[in-house]
Amino acid sequence: MYTRRLVYLFLAGLGAAVMPMPAYSESETLPMPPRFTQNALPATVLLAYPLGMIDHQAAFSHHGSAHRRLTMPNGNEGWVFNIGDKEWHRTYTLVFKQDGTVGDVLYHDHSRYSETGLSALLLQSKGRIVDGPRTAPGPD
């Protein structure tokens, strides 16, 4: 009876050790999003962010805990990350789609002399249009 319990505990421990492995191996294949830093150019960060590929778990493991969580006007979840100090700081907001992946990254600059905002979705769509192949000449 004692050996039966030991075998059961061994198999339960082995199962618990093996279960997280598929999730870990899947997260290794995800592209690495750029870091939110004070020195990084916002447009470069937004253009390089892999939209539609990063889920909640991958975003948390890469960026850490959000400074604030909010609900966007369209009902989607948003995670706000503050970079910088009181005098001058930036915010990056990860906007999660209904399927749980990052659908957009919003950037906002809160400096004394300027307030600018950018969107990764907008920049990446403009980049595809500008850099994409031309199929036919435009109207004369």
- The per-residue pLDDT for range 15-68, each reduced to its tens digit, is 555 444 444 444 457 788 899 988 888 889 999 999 999 999 999 999 999 999
What DSSP letter does each residue of 39-57 carry, written as one string?
SS-HHHHHHHS-TTT-BHH
Give ∠ CA 27-80-76 in degrees, rounded to 5.
75
Mean pLDDT of 8-18: 58
Give ∠ CA 18-24-30 in degrees, rounded to 5.
160
Q: What is the pLDDT of residue 25?
A: 42
Task: Check whether residue 93 and residue 67 sit in a common domain.
Answer: yes
pTM of the model: 0.69
pLDDT at 10 over 80: no
Question: pLDDT band at 114, cuts 50/70/90?
Answer: low
Task: Check whether residue 41 and residue 94 sit in a common domain.
Answer: yes
Enumerate the β-bridge partners of residue 116.
109
Structure tokens at 113: 């002399």
Task: Check whether residue 26 and residue 37 sit in a common domain.
Answer: no
What is the C-alpha to C-alpha distance for residues 93 and 108, in angstroms, rounded to an integer?
8
Q: What is the pLDDT of residue 98?
A: 94
- Give alpha helix (H) positions in the chain: 2-18, 20-28, 42-48, 56-63, 120-131
Q: What percent of the chain has pLDDT over 70?
A: 67
Residue 116 domain-assigned?
Answer: yes
On average, the pLDDT of the chain sits at 79
Task: Check whether residue 69 and residue 6 sit in a common domain.
Answer: no
By CB atoms closer than 10 A (0-12, 13-18, 19+), residue 110 is: middle
Mean pLDDT of 83-90: 82
Q: What is the pLDDT of residue 52?
A: 94
Residue 94 domain-assigned?
Answer: yes
Which domain does 1 fall in, by range? 1-30
